[in-house]
Chain A
Protein backbone atom coordinates (compact mmCIF):
# COMPACT_ATOMS: atom_id res chain seq x y z
CA UNK A 1 0.00 0.00 0.00
CA UNK A 2 1.19 3.47 -0.86
CA UNK A 3 1.78 5.73 2.09
CA UNK A 4 0.19 9.11 1.37
CA UNK A 5 1.16 10.97 4.54
CA UNK A 6 3.89 10.12 7.02
CA UNK A 7 4.74 11.88 10.27
CA UNK A 8 8.12 10.86 11.72
CA UNK A 9 9.13 11.85 15.25
CA UNK A 10 7.11 15.00 14.92
CA UNK A 11 7.12 17.54 17.75
CA UNK A 12 5.44 20.89 17.93
CA UNK A 13 5.99 23.49 20.62
CA UNK A 14 3.93 26.61 21.09
CA UNK A 15 6.20 28.71 23.33
CA UNK A 16 6.70 26.57 26.43
CA UNK A 17 3.84 24.26 25.60
CA UNK A 18 4.75 21.01 23.86
CA UNK A 19 1.63 20.20 21.89
CA UNK A 20 3.15 17.11 20.25
CA UNK A 21 6.04 15.20 21.78
CA UNK A 22 7.25 12.85 19.05
CA UNK A 23 4.47 11.37 16.98
CA UNK A 24 4.86 8.67 14.33
CA UNK A 25 1.90 8.06 12.06
CA UNK A 26 1.31 6.88 8.52
CA UNK A 27 -1.86 6.89 6.47
CA UNK A 28 -1.94 4.83 3.29
CA UNK A 29 -4.05 5.27 0.18
CA UNK A 30 -7.45 3.75 0.82
CA UNK A 31 -7.04 3.95 4.57
CA UNK A 32 -9.21 5.84 7.05
CA UNK A 33 -7.45 6.70 10.29
CA UNK A 34 -9.29 8.35 13.17
CA UNK A 35 -7.57 10.40 15.85
CA UNK A 36 -9.24 10.64 19.23
CA UNK A 37 -8.22 12.18 22.52
CA UNK A 38 -9.30 14.69 25.15
CA UNK A 39 -9.23 18.40 24.39
CA UNK A 40 -5.70 19.73 24.48
CA UNK A 41 -4.22 16.34 23.54
CA UNK A 42 -2.84 17.69 20.26
CA UNK A 43 -5.42 16.31 17.78
CA UNK A 44 -5.88 19.47 15.76
CA UNK A 45 -2.15 20.28 15.87
CA UNK A 46 -1.50 16.86 14.35
CA UNK A 47 -4.02 17.46 11.58
CA UNK A 48 -2.64 20.92 10.81
CA UNK A 49 0.89 19.52 10.53
CA UNK A 50 -0.24 16.66 8.27
CA UNK A 51 -1.85 19.17 5.92
CA UNK A 52 0.93 21.75 5.84
CA UNK A 53 -1.12 24.37 7.69
CA UNK A 54 1.62 24.43 10.31
CA UNK A 55 5.27 23.35 10.47
CA UNK A 56 6.74 20.96 13.07
CA UNK A 57 9.33 22.12 15.61
CA UNK A 58 11.27 18.93 14.82
CA UNK A 59 10.68 15.75 12.87
CA UNK A 60 9.41 15.41 9.31
CA UNK A 61 6.07 15.41 7.55
CA UNK A 62 6.02 13.76 4.15
CA UNK A 63 3.05 13.92 1.78
CA UNK A 64 3.19 11.69 -1.31
CA UNK A 65 6.96 11.48 -1.00
CA UNK A 66 7.56 15.23 -0.61
CA UNK A 67 9.11 16.45 2.65
CA UNK A 68 7.00 19.48 3.52
CA UNK A 69 10.07 21.25 4.97
CA UNK A 70 11.41 21.48 1.41
CA UNK A 71 8.15 22.68 -0.14
CA UNK A 72 8.56 26.40 -0.81
CA UNK A 73 4.98 27.30 -1.69
CA UNK A 74 2.90 25.58 1.00
CA UNK A 75 -0.22 27.46 -0.06
CA UNK A 76 -0.06 25.98 -3.56
CA UNK A 77 0.73 22.56 -2.12
CA UNK A 78 -2.33 22.77 0.13
CA UNK A 79 -4.60 23.73 -2.73
CA UNK A 80 -3.47 20.93 -5.02
CA UNK A 81 -2.66 17.98 -2.76
CA UNK A 82 -4.78 18.19 0.35
CA UNK A 83 -8.50 18.54 0.94
CA UNK A 84 -9.77 19.95 4.24
CA UNK A 85 -13.15 19.59 5.86
CA UNK A 86 -13.69 21.53 9.05
CA UNK A 87 -16.49 21.82 11.54
CA UNK A 88 -17.11 25.44 10.66
CA UNK A 89 -17.63 24.88 7.01
CA UNK A 90 -16.35 28.14 5.62
CA UNK A 91 -18.57 28.03 2.56
CA UNK A 92 -18.73 31.47 1.04
CA UNK A 93 -22.31 32.75 1.48
CA UNK A 94 -22.44 34.79 -1.72
CA UNK A 95 -21.42 31.84 -3.93
CA UNK A 96 -23.59 28.89 -4.94
CA UNK A 97 -22.64 25.37 -3.90
CA UNK A 98 -21.06 24.72 -7.30
CA UNK A 99 -19.14 28.03 -7.21
CA UNK A 100 -17.82 27.21 -3.75
CA UNK A 101 -16.49 23.90 -5.04
CA UNK A 102 -14.98 25.59 -8.13
CA UNK A 103 -13.22 28.37 -6.25
CA UNK A 104 -10.01 26.64 -5.11
CA UNK A 105 -9.59 25.10 -8.57
CA UNK A 106 -9.98 28.46 -10.27
CA UNK A 107 -7.45 29.96 -7.85
CA UNK A 108 -5.11 27.27 -9.14
CA UNK A 109 -5.56 28.46 -12.69
CA UNK A 110 -8.04 25.84 -13.87
CA UNK A 111 -10.33 27.37 -16.48
CA UNK A 112 -13.89 28.12 -15.47
CA UNK A 113 -15.57 25.63 -17.79
CA UNK A 114 -13.42 22.77 -16.62
CA UNK A 115 -13.71 23.81 -12.96
CA UNK A 116 -17.50 23.83 -13.32
CA UNK A 117 -17.58 20.39 -14.95
CA UNK A 118 -15.36 19.02 -12.16
CA UNK A 119 -17.50 20.65 -9.50
CA UNK A 120 -20.72 19.18 -10.88
CA UNK A 121 -19.14 15.73 -11.14
CA UNK A 122 -17.88 15.76 -7.57
CA UNK A 123 -21.17 17.17 -6.21
CA UNK A 124 -22.89 14.28 -7.96
CA UNK A 125 -20.47 11.86 -6.30
CA UNK A 126 -21.26 13.15 -2.81
CA UNK A 127 -25.00 13.12 -3.44
CA UNK A 128 -25.42 16.91 -3.64
CA UNK A 129 -26.00 17.36 -7.36
CA UNK A 130 -29.48 18.75 -6.85
CA UNK A 131 -28.27 21.65 -4.71
CA UNK A 132 -25.46 22.79 -7.05
CA UNK A 133 -27.23 26.07 -7.85
CA UNK A 134 -28.26 26.93 -4.30
CA UNK A 135 -26.61 29.27 -1.84
CA UNK A 136 -25.25 27.94 1.50
CA UNK A 137 -28.05 29.52 3.54
CA UNK A 138 -30.58 27.56 1.49
CA UNK A 139 -29.00 24.23 2.46
CA UNK A 140 -29.45 21.95 5.47
CA UNK A 141 -26.46 21.24 7.74
CA UNK A 142 -25.93 17.85 6.12
CA UNK A 143 -26.10 19.30 2.59
CA UNK A 144 -23.61 22.04 3.51
CA UNK A 145 -21.21 19.43 4.83
CA UNK A 146 -21.56 17.42 1.62
CA UNK A 147 -20.69 20.52 -0.38
CA UNK A 148 -17.68 21.17 1.87
CA UNK A 149 -16.51 17.60 1.26
CA UNK A 150 -17.03 18.01 -2.48
CA UNK A 151 -14.85 21.13 -2.36
CA UNK A 152 -12.19 19.20 -0.46
CA UNK A 153 -12.22 16.46 -3.09
CA UNK A 154 -12.30 18.46 -6.32
CA UNK A 155 -9.12 18.09 -8.35
CA UNK A 156 -8.25 14.51 -7.47
CA UNK A 157 -6.62 15.17 -4.14
CA UNK A 158 -5.29 12.01 -2.53
CA UNK A 159 -5.32 13.22 1.06
CA UNK A 160 -8.41 14.34 2.91
CA UNK A 161 -8.18 15.86 6.39
CA UNK A 162 -11.37 16.17 8.38
CA UNK A 163 -11.59 17.95 11.74
CA UNK A 164 -14.86 17.11 13.52
CA UNK A 165 -16.72 17.01 10.17
CA UNK A 166 -19.89 15.81 11.87
CA UNK A 167 -19.91 18.89 14.15
CA UNK A 168 -23.45 19.66 15.18
CA UNK A 169 -25.14 17.21 12.80
CA UNK A 170 -27.66 14.68 14.10
CA UNK A 171 -26.45 11.08 14.26
CA UNK A 172 -28.24 9.87 11.11
CA UNK A 173 -26.72 12.73 9.06
CA UNK A 174 -23.37 12.20 10.78
CA UNK A 175 -23.48 8.55 9.69
CA UNK A 176 -24.22 9.64 6.13
CA UNK A 177 -21.15 11.92 6.18
CA UNK A 178 -18.96 9.08 7.44
CA UNK A 179 -20.41 6.78 4.80
CA UNK A 180 -19.31 9.34 2.25
CA UNK A 181 -15.77 9.71 3.65
CA UNK A 182 -15.55 5.92 3.77
CA UNK A 183 -16.61 5.62 0.13
CA UNK A 184 -13.93 8.14 -0.93
CA UNK A 185 -11.45 6.16 1.08
CA UNK A 186 -12.46 2.92 -0.59
CA UNK A 187 -11.87 4.71 -3.90
CA UNK A 188 -8.22 5.22 -2.91
CA UNK A 189 -8.09 8.48 -0.97
CA UNK A 190 -6.22 8.60 2.36
CA UNK A 191 -8.41 10.09 5.08
CA UNK A 192 -7.27 11.42 8.46
CA UNK A 193 -10.23 12.16 10.70
CA UNK A 194 -10.21 13.96 14.04
CA UNK A 195 -13.30 13.30 16.13
CA UNK A 196 -14.29 13.08 19.77
CA UNK A 197 -17.23 10.83 18.98
CA UNK A 198 -16.53 7.09 19.24
CA UNK A 199 -19.40 6.20 16.89
CA UNK A 200 -17.74 8.07 14.03
CA UNK A 201 -14.20 6.97 14.88
CA UNK A 202 -15.48 3.41 14.55
CA UNK A 203 -15.77 3.85 10.77
CA UNK A 204 -11.97 3.95 10.60
CA UNK A 205 -9.58 1.11 9.79
CA UNK A 206 -7.40 2.33 12.64
CA UNK A 207 -8.17 4.49 15.65
CA UNK A 208 -5.30 6.21 17.46
CA UNK A 209 -5.60 7.92 20.82
CA UNK A 210 -3.56 10.97 21.64
CA UNK A 211 -2.88 11.99 25.17
CA UNK A 212 -0.59 14.85 26.21
CA UNK A 213 0.98 14.98 22.77
CA UNK A 214 1.72 11.27 22.41
CA UNK A 215 -0.04 8.36 20.75
CA UNK A 216 -0.98 6.07 23.63
CA UNK A 217 -2.95 3.35 21.93
CA UNK A 218 -4.07 2.21 18.55
CA UNK A 219 -6.79 -0.18 17.55
CA UNK A 220 -7.20 -1.60 14.11
CA UNK A 221 -9.69 -3.89 12.58
CA UNK A 222 -8.61 -5.52 9.37
CA UNK A 223 -11.32 -7.98 8.66
CA UNK A 224 -12.60 -9.02 5.30
CA UNK A 225 -13.64 -5.91 3.47
CA UNK A 226 -17.18 -4.78 4.11
CA UNK A 227 -17.28 -2.85 0.88
Chain B
Protein backbone atom coordinates (compact mmCIF):
# COMPACT_ATOMS: atom_id res chain seq x y z
CA UNK B 1 0.00 0.00 0.00
CA UNK B 2 0.65 3.27 -0.21
CA UNK B 3 0.52 5.83 2.44
CA UNK B 4 -1.55 7.79 -0.09
CA UNK B 5 -4.48 5.42 0.14
CA UNK B 6 -4.25 5.44 3.91
CA UNK B 7 -4.42 9.23 3.93
CA UNK B 8 -7.30 9.23 1.43
CA UNK B 9 -9.21 6.82 3.70
CA UNK B 10 -8.73 9.17 6.66
CA UNK B 11 -9.74 12.22 4.62
CA UNK B 12 -12.86 10.39 3.49
CA UNK B 13 -14.11 10.82 7.09
CA UNK B 14 -13.79 14.58 6.78
CA UNK B 15 -11.20 17.35 6.23
CA UNK B 16 -8.05 17.08 8.32
CA UNK B 17 -4.71 18.85 8.81
CA UNK B 18 -1.30 17.19 8.39
CA UNK B 19 -0.37 16.39 11.97
CA UNK B 20 -3.83 15.02 12.65
CA UNK B 21 -3.46 12.66 9.67
CA UNK B 22 -0.18 11.39 11.02
CA UNK B 23 -1.61 10.69 14.49
CA UNK B 24 -4.72 8.98 13.13
CA UNK B 25 -2.71 6.89 10.66
CA UNK B 26 -0.45 5.58 13.41
CA UNK B 27 -3.35 4.91 15.76
CA UNK B 28 -5.22 2.93 13.09
CA UNK B 29 -2.21 0.76 12.33
CA UNK B 30 -1.45 0.07 15.99
CA UNK B 31 1.83 1.94 15.82
CA UNK B 32 3.28 -0.71 13.48
CA UNK B 33 3.75 1.85 10.74
CA UNK B 34 5.31 5.06 12.05
CA UNK B 35 5.19 8.04 9.68
CA UNK B 36 7.20 11.18 9.85
CA UNK B 37 5.44 14.45 9.26
CA UNK B 38 7.56 15.08 6.14
CA UNK B 39 6.13 11.93 4.50
CA UNK B 40 2.64 13.17 5.26
CA UNK B 41 3.20 16.54 3.60
CA UNK B 42 5.00 15.11 0.55
CA UNK B 43 2.17 12.63 0.07
CA UNK B 44 -0.46 15.34 0.45
CA UNK B 45 1.37 17.47 -2.15
CA UNK B 46 1.31 14.56 -4.63
CA UNK B 47 -2.33 13.80 -3.92
CA UNK B 48 -3.13 17.45 -4.58
CA UNK B 49 -1.10 17.42 -7.81
CA UNK B 50 -3.11 14.34 -8.93
CA UNK B 51 -6.40 16.03 -8.09
CA UNK B 52 -7.32 13.55 -5.35
CA UNK B 53 -7.29 16.09 -2.50
CA UNK B 54 -7.69 19.85 -2.37
CA UNK B 55 -6.83 22.53 0.14
CA UNK B 56 -9.80 23.09 2.42
CA UNK B 57 -8.75 26.39 3.91
CA UNK B 58 -7.64 26.74 7.50
CA UNK B 59 -9.25 25.66 10.75
CA UNK B 60 -9.93 28.09 13.62
CA UNK B 61 -6.33 27.76 14.77
CA UNK B 62 -4.97 28.57 11.34
CA UNK B 63 -3.82 25.07 10.39
CA UNK B 64 -4.01 24.19 6.68
CA UNK B 65 -6.73 21.64 6.17
CA UNK B 66 -7.08 19.17 3.28
CA UNK B 67 -10.24 17.63 1.86
CA UNK B 68 -10.82 14.63 -0.41
CA UNK B 69 -12.14 15.30 -3.95
CA UNK B 70 -14.64 13.29 -6.03
CA UNK B 71 -11.71 11.76 -7.94
CA UNK B 72 -10.12 10.96 -4.58
CA UNK B 73 -13.23 9.06 -3.49
CA UNK B 74 -13.24 7.08 -6.75
CA UNK B 75 -9.58 6.18 -6.30
CA UNK B 76 -10.25 5.09 -2.72
CA UNK B 77 -13.17 2.94 -3.81
CA UNK B 78 -11.03 1.32 -6.50
CA UNK B 79 -8.30 0.63 -3.94
CA UNK B 80 -10.64 -1.03 -1.44
CA UNK B 81 -12.17 -3.03 -4.31
CA UNK B 82 -8.85 -4.44 -5.57
CA UNK B 83 -7.22 -7.40 -3.80
CA UNK B 84 -3.56 -7.05 -2.86
CA UNK B 85 -1.24 -9.10 -5.08
CA UNK B 86 1.13 -11.48 -3.25
CA UNK B 87 3.69 -9.73 -5.39
CA UNK B 88 7.11 -8.49 -4.70
CA UNK B 89 8.01 -9.61 -1.21
CA UNK B 90 11.73 -9.39 -0.69
CA UNK B 91 13.33 -12.81 -0.56
CA UNK B 92 12.88 -14.34 2.84
CA UNK B 93 16.20 -14.77 4.63
CA UNK B 94 14.88 -17.49 6.91
CA UNK B 95 13.69 -19.64 4.00
CA UNK B 96 17.08 -19.29 2.33
CA UNK B 97 18.88 -20.10 5.58
CA UNK B 98 16.91 -23.31 6.17
CA UNK B 99 17.26 -24.34 2.51
CA UNK B 100 21.01 -23.82 2.73
CA UNK B 101 21.21 -25.70 6.02
CA UNK B 102 19.42 -28.67 4.46
CA UNK B 103 21.49 -28.57 1.27
CA UNK B 104 24.82 -27.88 2.93
CA UNK B 105 25.11 -30.86 5.23
CA UNK B 106 27.72 -29.26 7.49
CA UNK B 107 25.24 -27.67 9.92
CA UNK B 108 22.75 -29.32 12.25
CA UNK B 109 19.40 -28.46 10.66
CA UNK B 110 17.52 -29.34 13.83
CA UNK B 111 19.57 -26.79 15.79
CA UNK B 112 18.96 -24.04 13.26
CA UNK B 113 15.24 -24.78 13.36
CA UNK B 114 15.14 -24.86 17.16
CA UNK B 115 16.99 -21.59 17.54
CA UNK B 116 14.65 -19.90 15.10
CA UNK B 117 11.56 -21.41 16.67
CA UNK B 118 12.55 -20.16 20.10
CA UNK B 119 13.10 -16.67 18.69
CA UNK B 120 9.81 -16.68 16.81
CA UNK B 121 7.96 -17.90 19.90
CA UNK B 122 9.48 -15.08 21.93
CA UNK B 123 8.30 -12.60 19.32
CA UNK B 124 4.87 -14.20 19.40
CA UNK B 125 4.77 -13.97 23.21
CA UNK B 126 5.67 -10.30 23.02
CA UNK B 127 3.02 -9.61 20.40
CA UNK B 128 0.47 -11.33 22.63
CA UNK B 129 1.51 -9.12 25.53
CA UNK B 130 1.15 -6.06 23.36
CA UNK B 131 -2.29 -7.25 22.39
CA UNK B 132 -3.32 -7.78 26.02
CA UNK B 133 -2.09 -4.32 26.95
CA UNK B 134 -3.59 -2.63 23.90
CA UNK B 135 -6.13 0.02 24.74
CA UNK B 136 -6.77 1.25 21.22
CA UNK B 137 -9.68 0.30 19.08
CA UNK B 138 -10.59 -2.59 16.84
CA UNK B 139 -8.18 -1.51 14.09
CA UNK B 140 -5.21 -1.68 16.43
CA UNK B 141 -6.19 -5.12 17.66
CA UNK B 142 -6.59 -6.48 14.14
CA UNK B 143 -3.22 -5.08 13.08
CA UNK B 144 -1.54 -6.86 16.01
CA UNK B 145 -3.50 -10.01 15.15
CA UNK B 146 -2.09 -9.83 11.63
CA UNK B 147 1.46 -9.95 13.01
CA UNK B 148 0.42 -12.82 15.29
CA UNK B 149 -0.95 -14.85 12.37
CA UNK B 150 2.24 -14.26 10.38
CA UNK B 151 4.50 -15.31 13.25
CA UNK B 152 2.30 -18.35 13.79
CA UNK B 153 2.59 -19.32 10.11
CA UNK B 154 6.39 -19.15 10.42
CA UNK B 155 6.26 -21.30 13.55
CA UNK B 156 4.11 -23.92 11.84
CA UNK B 157 6.39 -23.96 8.86
CA UNK B 158 9.38 -24.57 11.16
CA UNK B 159 7.55 -27.48 12.83
CA UNK B 160 6.84 -28.81 9.38
CA UNK B 161 10.52 -28.47 8.36
CA UNK B 162 11.54 -30.37 11.47
CA UNK B 163 9.06 -33.19 10.92
CA UNK B 164 9.86 -33.58 7.23
CA UNK B 165 13.65 -33.43 7.60
CA UNK B 166 13.44 -35.99 10.40
CA UNK B 167 11.37 -38.30 8.18
CA UNK B 168 13.88 -38.00 5.34
CA UNK B 169 16.89 -38.66 7.50
CA UNK B 170 15.49 -41.69 9.30
Contact = CB atoms under 8 A, between A and B. Distances in A.
A182 B121 contact: no
Interface in B139-154: 148-149, 151-152
Most chain A beta-carbon neighbours within 10 Å: one of B118, B125, B148, B155: B125
B105 to A, nearest CB: 22
Contact of A202 (B114, B125, B156, B159): B125
Interface residues of A, number: 19
A198 B118 contact: no
A38 to B, nearest CB: 6
Nearest to B163: A38
Interface string B111-123: 0001001101110
A201 B124 CA distance: 9
Interface in A181-227: 182, 197-199, 201-204, 207, 209, 216-217, 219, 221, 223, 226-227
Contacts of B151: 198, 202
Nearest to B162: A38
Contacts of B122: 219, 221
Contacts of A182: 132
Contacts of A223: 126, 129
A217 B118 contact: yes
Nearest to B124: A202
Given A217-B114, A217-B117, A199 B124 contact: yes
B155 A198 contact: yes
A87 B162 CA distance: 26
A216 B111 CA distance: 10
B43 to A, nearest CB: 34
A109 B3 CA distance: 65
Contact of B128 (A197, A203, A217, A227): A203
Contacts of A209: 114, 117
Given A221-B129, A226-B132, A198 B114 contact: no
Contacts of B129: 221, 223, 226
Nearest to A205: B125
A202 B163 contact: no
Given A38-B159, A38-B162, 6 more contacts: A199-B148, A202-B124, A202-B128, A217-B117, A219-B125, A227-B132
Smallest CB-CB A-B distances: 9 pairs:
A202-B124, A198-B155, A221-B125, A226-B133, A226-B129, A202-B128, A226-B132, A199-B152, A219-B121
Interface of A: 38, 179, 182, 197-199, 201-204, 207, 209, 216-217, 219, 221, 223, 226-227
7 contacts: A38-B162, A199-B149, A202-B151, A217-B114, A219-B122, A219-B125, A227-B132
